[in-house]
Every structure is written in structure tokens, then in C-alpha cells.
A and B are shown apart, each in its own frame.
Chain A
């Protein structure tokens, strides 16, 4: 096809007629609450934002397997072992759907994986906390997966089709995960003194990090407004955090446990939950890579990748040989 746009690089600052048309079609899709599909034109910043968000989400699923995989071999009953294995396996599945969704935006899985292994990509910082006791399997399911669901249910309506559709399936499974986590805590709460203590300590450890999973307060979240305008994000960080804290405040009563936030209350005038000040310095420090388990999580991933290299090479070599013999 003959070039229809001028080749002078500086001119790209001014959109061509075609680009303006495409932008208008894209804006209309967003305004109509329709879905943007992989072959549709989309502005570069939209593509970039989504690629970052979807791949970070995929990385979080993959890194998030580790704290729970850590307890599979020590699970205290065969039934719990079996449920936990199924759960961690679901997370690997979520990682795969999400990498596939990210690939439709034009970056392949090898590149995304490389970004993770080299530390260029982020993942949910909650997974940089260690899972110290069995009760953490409960707290992670109830609080971490609970916060993830609060975040993710609105993403089922995200404007980018493949992401939204992947999220529908993921949310169904996450909701099962949250319930299994709660059930672990429920069993512990009805158990021995040692089990109750274990459960309460896990709740204490995961409460604050799970509230921070929604991201910084709205007035300090620079990318949120644009994501909301693009209808990738539907509710603000604080709105989602509010919804979540209200929910767990109710649920913790069923456990007969407490949240480590004695002044937590609903302010009738402001119509909002008032929770303790969250330690955003710690949050930023964990994001920077200094959490208790950042180095361990990345090295675990790198080790699996490194030690599996010969297997992937062999599979590629075998596939090439098969192709050759089919041609011959």
C-alpha cells in the first residue's frame, strides 16, 4: 500500500485524518459502553496502560502462587491439601488467561515474563509478605482474595473486551477462593486455643496490607482519572476500599475474631468508614522491592525459569524436528 501519510517524523505529532477518524470511533465505543476489541484501533496510551495493568495482574497471579504453594506439602488434612492445590492451580490458570489477554495487545508472553524476571514489571505487593502459618491460608483467601474480588468485579465491565471476559471467569473462581479462605478461618475459630490464636494473628498481619491493595488514596493516585475516563477502572481506590472494609467488618463477627483497628467505625455524617491510617511508607517501600519476601519471590520465579530452560529448548527442538519430518 502506498504511504498516505507524510514520512517526516515530526509530523506525527499532528494526527492524520485517518487517525482522527479512528480516535472518534474509539471515543464512541467508550461512550456507548461498548467493548474495544484487539483489532480495533486504540490510542497508544490506552494500549500501554492496559498492557501494564493486565500483565501486572498476570504476574500477581503467578507470584501469588508462592505463598500458598509453600503450605501445600504441609496442609494439615488431606481435604485441605486437595483444596489448596486446586486453588493454586486456578491461580496459574488465571495467569495464563491474563497473559493471553495481554498478548492480544501486541506484547508476547516471553517479553512480559522477561519484564517480571528482570524486575521491570510490578506485581501486587501483598505477595511480598510471607505466609508464616497455616492460618495465613485462611487470611489470604478471605482478605487478599476478598480485596482482589472487590477490585476485580468492576473489571468484568472493563472497556477492553479480552480483559473483561477473562475477568468474568477469574471472578467466579476468586469468589470460591475467598469462601474457602473464610472457611479455613471459621474452622480455626471453632478450634483449639492455639488455632484461634493462629487465626487472629493471621488476620492482624494481613488486614492492613489487604486494605492497601486498592492502591494509594484517590488524591495521590495519578493514573486513576485517565483509567476511569477510559472505563478500564469503574470505581476509585477509596470507593473500593470503603466497600471492602465495610464487608469484612461484618464478616469478622461471624468468626468471633477482631480486626486490628479498634477505632474502625462508620461515620454517619460523612457516610463513610473511618479506618486507621495506613502505613503508606511501608507500602511504597515494599513496592520499591524492600518487602520481607520481594527478593525471595523473584528468585523463586527466576530459578524455575532457569531450571526449566533445557525443557523448553528440548520441546522447541522436538517440535521443529516434527515439523521437518512432516514436510519431508
Chain B
């Protein structure tokens, strides 16, 4: 599916978008609304929401590190905005997942151990230089855009509602990543080389994004089979690479299974930093 087709298919969800965001008009769906609405998900649905929430949380944690460090102030703002959006998605998914287990978003973010996190390894990859972050954004935002678009039709109303808000925001993240990938790919010799390098080191982690889990089949039309996103994702990212003068690397795909709590060596440091203060004060509220 190319951009135009995708946008057209999104338009067909017009009504779904409208009803999904009706919870708080103009402000869409907030984690607080989800907690109040209290539609308790099944264990499986909660597990699925946890996957989506963990991806978003770890990505937001990575992105937020850029604030005050970007190449120009406009990018401090842009990356900050993207991080803020993604954190919002994480909060919604985690709040919803937590309803099944009587846990809050913070219980899940701050009090789980590394092996309980189900995020994909691509989102925990280090920020590196700006080009690495942009490449990670390109890979993930195209993926999330396709995924959330499909989830507008999820049989689970809350997941569909969260995605209705998220998909509009991820669409901007995708635009941002595409524009920078092309700009840097075609900018200078140095920037092109840096983008080739970024692609090379991140590409191995794209394989895991499309692995189907038993959970996905169990959930039926609540979830989207990751493998079913592959073709559209390949087509879209290849068309961006063509414009940016980049090629898909020949390197293979890494054995990675973040969904099962198996993470790269980076994850421990991410969690150590994220959780340190909360864990120093058990039971405290902030």
C-alpha cells in the first residue's frame, strides 16, 4: 500500500475515528478516561495492550532524552512533541492493560522487572546520533501507523479508541521521519554515509516486528497479525529509501524476542534510569 492508498483507506474510517474520539471531544481519549470507563479487558487483551504500551513507553523514554540535545531548537521541540505523543499512547495502553490485573500505569511502568517488559528490541536501541534516531523513527512510525490504522477495526472498542487518537499523531511522526530520512540521505556525503550506517545497525531488529505470536491468533479480530503488516511496511519503507538514495542492507535479521521478555543489553540501563526514583520511595504518590 502506498501513501495515497493508505490515506484513502484511513478516510474510510472517518466514522470510526469520530466515535472513537467522542469520549472527550477535542481532547480524544486520555488514560484517566480509560481508567474511569473501567471496561475490564480479558487477560489476553490486556497482554496485547501491554505489548503496544511497552513499545510506546520504551520508545518515549529513548526519545525524551533528546530534549535539550537536538541539532536545532526546532528539533528539540519536534522530538519532544513526538516523545510526548508516544508517552500518551503508552499511558493509555498500560492503563487499559492494568485494569485486568488491578494495576495502574505506574505499577506497570515502574514495578515490573526487565523480563516482564514485552517491548520489541527495535525501540530499545540507543539513540546514537540524530540519523540513528531518525532511522529508528522511520522504521517504527511506519510500522505503528500501519498497525494502528488496522486496529481501528479491532473488535476491542478500547483498543480501537486508543488507536484512533494514536494513528493521527503517528501519521505526523511518520512525516517527520520520512522528511528527515530524505533530507539526510540526499544532503551531504557525510549525512548519506551516516544514514547508511544507521540503517545497517538497526535493520537486524526489524525482523522481530513481524513475528506472529500465539497470542495474536488467540485474540482473533481484536489484534492484527504482525506478519500481515510486512508487505505494506516493505513497500512504504522501500519507497522512502528510493527517494533518500538508501538501500535495504544485506545483513540478516537478529534473533530477538522482546515480546517474551528477552531484551538486549540496553534495556537494563533504560529501566534502571526510568525506575530509580519511584523505587526509592515504595508506596509514595507523586
Does A78 count as interface, using CB distance less than 8 angstroms? yes
Q: Is the CB of A307 within 8 A of B129?
A: yes
Q: Which residues of A contact B84 (CB under 8 A)?
A: 82, 85-86, 89
| B241 vs chain A, min Cβ distance (A) | 16
Q: Residue among A66, A80, A85, A188 with the most chain B CB within 10 A?
A: A85
Interface residues of A in 23-70 (CB under 8 A from B): 62, 65-66, 69
Q: Residue among B65, B68, B77 with the most chain A CB within 10 A?
A: B68
Contacting B188 at CB < 8 Å: which of A65, A80, A310?
A310
Contacting A82 at CB < 8 Å: which of B65, B75, B91, B110?
B91
CA A76 – CA B286 in complex, angstroms?
Answer: 7
Does A13 count as interface, using CB distance less than 8 angstroms? no
Does A75 count as interface, using CB distance less than 8 angstroms? yes
Does A122 count as interface, using CB distance less than 8 angstroms? no
Does A271 count as interface, using CB distance less than 8 angstroms? no
Q: Is the CB of B190 within 8 A of A187?
A: no
CA A62 – CA B76 in complex, angstroms?
Answer: 10
Q: Is the CB of A318 within 8 A of B186?
A: yes
| A199 vs chain B, min Cβ distance (A) | 11
Task: Name B272's closest neighbour in chain A (CB-CB).
Answer: A74
CA A96 – CA B194 in complex, angstroms?
Answer: 28
| The stretch of B196-204, B252-260, B273-281 that contacts the partner chain | B273-281
Q: Is the CB of A191 within 8 A of B64?
A: no
Count of chain B residues near A, Cβ 8 A: 51
CA A315 – CA B285 in complex, angstroms?
Answer: 45
Q: Which residues of A contact B213 (CB under 8 A)?
A: none
Number of A-B contacts (CB under 8 A): 146
| B66 vs chain A, min Cβ distance (A) | 9
Q: Which residues of B contact A311 (CB under 8 A)?
A: 71-72, 75, 130-131, 184, 191
Q: Which residues of A contact B90 (CB under 8 A)?
A: 78
Contacting A304 at CB < 8 Å: which of B61, B69, B273?
B69
Q: Which residues of B contact A278 (CB under 8 A)?
A: none
Q: Which residues of B contact A69 (CB under 8 A)?
A: 67-69
Q: Is the CB of B76 within 8 A of A92?
A: yes
Task: Name B129's closest neighbour in chain A (CB-CB).
Answer: A307
Q: Is the CB of A315 within 8 A of B187?
A: yes
Q: Is the CB of A66 within 8 A of B278?
A: no
Does B211 count as interface, using CB distance less than 8 angstroms? no
Given the known interface contacts A65-B67, A85-B87, A92-B77, the answer about A195 and B72 at a Cβ–Cβ threshold of 8 Å is no
Interface residues of A in 79-98 (CB under 8 A from B): 79-82, 85-86, 88-89, 92-93, 95-96
| B131 vs chain A, min Cβ distance (A) | 8
Task: Name A187's closest neighbour in chain B (CB-CB).
Answer: B286
Does B83 count as interface, using CB distance less than 8 angstroms? yes
Does B22 count as interface, using CB distance less than 8 angstroms? no
Does A317 count as interface, using CB distance less than 8 angstroms? yes
Count of chain A residues near B, Cβ 8 A: 47
Interface residues of A in 307-322 (CB under 8 A from B): 307-315, 317-318, 321
| B229 vs chain A, min Cβ distance (A) | 27
| B258 vs chain A, min Cβ distance (A) | 20
CA A74 – CA B277 in complex, angstroms?
Answer: 6
Task: Name A63's closest neighbour in chain B (CB-CB).
Answer: B68
Q: Which residues of B contact A315 (CB under 8 A)?
A: 183-184, 187
Q: Is the CB of A66 within 8 A of B68?
A: yes
| A127 vs chain B, min Cβ distance (A) | 11
Q: Which residues of A contact B110 (CB under 8 A)?
A: 76-77
Q: Is the CB of A88 within 8 A of B72?
A: no
Q: Which residues of A contact B194 (CB under 8 A)?
A: 310
Interface residues of B in 91-131 (CB under 8 A from A): 91, 94, 105-106, 109-110, 129-131
Q: Is the CB of A88 within 8 A of B67?
A: yes
Does B47 count as interface, using CB distance less than 8 angstroms? no
CA A72 – CA B65 in complex, angstroms?
Answer: 8
Q: Which residues of B contact A62 (CB under 8 A)?
A: 73
CA A95 – CA B73 in complex, angstroms?
Answer: 8
Q: Is the CB of B286 within 8 A of A78?
A: no
Q: Is the CB of A134 within 8 A of B188?
A: no
Contacting B191 at CB < 8 Å: which of A72, A304, A314?
A314
Does A223 count as interface, using CB distance less than 8 angstroms? no
Q: Is the CB of A314 within 8 A of B184?
A: yes
Does A300 count as interface, using CB distance less than 8 angstroms? yes
Task: Name A301's closest neighbour in chain B (CB-CB).
Answer: B68
Q: Is the CB of A89 within 8 A of B184?
A: no
Does A194 count as interface, using CB distance less than 8 angstroms? yes
CA A308 – CA B248 in complex, angstroms?
Answer: 25
20 contacts between A and B (CB under 8 A): A62-B73, A65-B68, A69-B67, A74-B274, A78-B57, A78-B106, A79-B91, A82-B87, A89-B80, A92-B67, A93-B77, A96-B74, A134-B277, A184-B286, A300-B68, A304-B68, A307-B129, A308-B71, A308-B130, A317-B188
What 3 A-B pairs have minimum CB-CB distances, sorted nearest first?
A: A308-B71, A314-B187, A314-B191
4 extra A-B contacts, CB within 8 A, seeds A92-B80, A303-B69, A307-B69: A66-B68, A78-B57, A308-B75, A314-B188
